[in-house]
Amino acid sequence: MSAPLTDESIDNKVRNTVYVQDYSAKPKIDGVVILTIKNFVGENGDFSELLRLNDEGESEQIPGFRPRQINRSKQYNKAIKAWHLHYRQDEIWYVPPDEHLLLGLWDVREGSATKDTTQKIPLGGGNSIAVYIPRGVAHGAVNFSGKKTNVYYFVNNQFDPANPDEQRLPWDARGADFWLAQRD
């Protein structure tokens, strides 16, 4: 077995570019909840229970959240559907494990302890998670997967085209590079 290396053991041409990746916990936004969804895989397919409701129609995972509408959206490869937020609506996003999407979150709530904090959460990609997004947290997504991706989202207010609760921000309001995949 050979001895451990030191910085001096690395080629001088690349020595100054070597770094240690940061594995510390990333900042989280107050009120955002990541729900682990059990995905049961069998010989003939799989099954996931996305949301369980109590007798009052309230989510057992997110107390106080009562879904009023369930939607599906398809996002094409390389598409960025960026920043929008709601004043009266909370929602839960879910992407099936065999698809993939990068969810971007940005806390724009005045007075929030995590104001201006951003989060990137991969959805799908082999994982089965859902993300609860409270009102006032701007959100959007980018698709790097190479294929179309379905997003299922549960909302606690029904959409009203005459009075839409969907406030928009420019897609690059946090900088165009926010929507790029992290490069190591």
Identify the structural domains of the chain with CATH numbers, from first to last: 25-158 (2.60.120.10)
pLDDT at 183: 76
Mean pLDDT of all residues in the chain?
A: 94
User: What does the pLDDT look like over 87-96, one tens digit per residue?
Assistant: 999 999 999 9
Nearest to 141 by CA among 90, 107, 106, 167: 106
For the chain, helix, strand, coil in percent to 5 are 5, 35, 60
Report yes or no: 92 and 33 within 8 Å, Cβ to Cβ. no
Amino acid identity for residue 176 in this structure = A
pLDDT at 21 (0 to 100): 87
